[in-house]
Copies of this chain bind each other. A is one copy, B any other.
Amino acid sequence: MFGLLLSVLAGKNPEGPPPLWMMRQAGRYLPEYRKTREQAGSFLGLCANPELASEVTLQPIRRFDFDAAIVFSDILTVVMALGHPVSFDEGPKLSALTSAAGLERDRGCWRQVLEPVYQALALTRPRLAPEKALIGFAGAPWTLAVYMAGGGNDEQKAARLWAYRDRDGFQLLIDRLVDCVSQHLIWQFEAGADAVQIFDSWAGGLPPELFERFVVQPTAAIVHNIRTVLPGAAIIGFPRGAGLVQLERYASATGVDGISIDPSVAMAWAVERLGTVVQGNLDPLALVAGGAALQDAVNDILTATRSKPFIFNLGHGILPTTPIEHVRELVRLVRGA
A residues neighboring B (CB under 8 Å)? 153, 157, 160-161, 164-165, 167, 204-209, 211, 241, 243-246, 262-266, 269, 283, 285-286, 288-289, 291, 293, 297, 300, 319
Q: How far is the CB of A313 from chain B (nearest CB, A)?
A: 15
A164-B286, A204-B204 known; 20 new pairs, CB 8 Å cut-off, are A157-B319, A160-B283, A161-B289, A164-B289, A164-B293, A165-B289, A205-B262, A207-B263, A207-B297, A208-B264, A208-B265, A208-B266, A209-B300, A211-B264, A243-B264, A243-B265, A244-B244, A244-B245, A245-B269, A246-B264
Q: How far is the CB of A18 from chain B (nearest CB, A)?
A: 19
Let me know if A241 and B205 touch, CB within 8 A. yes
Let me know if B153 and A293 touch, CB within 8 A. no
Q: Which residue of the partner chain B has the closest CB to A300? A: B209
Let me know if B164 and A263 touch, CB within 8 A. no
With A205-B263, A208-B264, A264-B205 already in contact, the answer to whether A285 and B164 are too (CB < 8 A) is yes
Q: How far is the CB of A301 from chain B (nearest CB, A)?
A: 10
Within 8 Å by CB of A153, from B153, B265, B289, lies: B153
The CA-CA distance from A187 to B288 in the complex, in Å, is 41
The CA-CA distance from A59 to B204 in the complex, in Å, is 34
Q: How far is the CB of A200 from chain B (nearest CB, A)?
A: 14
Q: Which residue of the partner chain B has the closest CB to A166? A: B289
The CA-CA distance from A209 to B263 in the complex, in Å, is 10
With A263-B207, A266-B208 already in contact, the answer to whether A157 and B285 are too (CB < 8 A) is yes
The CA-CA distance from A266 to B209 in the complex, in Å, is 9
The CA-CA distance from A289 to B166 in the complex, in Å, is 9
The CA-CA distance from A246 to B266 in the complex, in Å, is 10
The CA-CA distance from A285 to B165 in the complex, in Å, is 10
Residues from chain B with Cβ under 8 Å of A164 in the complex: 283, 285-286, 288-289, 293
Residues from chain B with Cβ under 8 Å of A241 in the complex: 204-205
Residues from chain B with Cβ under 8 Å of A288 in the complex: 161, 164
Report 17 cross-chain contacts, Cβ distance below 8 Å, ordered by A residue: A160-B283, A160-B285, A161-B288, A164-B285, A164-B286, A164-B288, A165-B293, A167-B293, A204-B205, A205-B262, A205-B263, A207-B264, A207-B286, A208-B264, A209-B300, A244-B244, A245-B269
Residues from chain B with Cβ under 8 Å of A244 in the complex: 243-245
Q: Which residue of the partner chain B has the closest CB to A273? A: B245
Residues from chain B with Cβ under 8 Å of A285 in the complex: 157, 160-161, 164
The CA-CA distance from A211 to B264 in the complex, in Å, is 9
Residues from chain B with Cβ under 8 Å of A283 in the complex: 160, 164, 207
The CA-CA distance from A241 to B297 in the complex, in Å, is 22
Q: Which residue of the partner chain B has the closest CB to A283? A: B207
The CA-CA distance from A157 to B286 in the complex, in Å, is 11
The CA-CA distance from A269 to B165 in the complex, in Å, is 26
Residues from chain B with Cβ under 8 Å of A207 in the complex: 263-264, 283, 286, 297
The CA-CA distance from A300 to B241 in the complex, in Å, is 23
Q: How far is the CB of A163 from chain B (nearest CB, A)?
A: 8
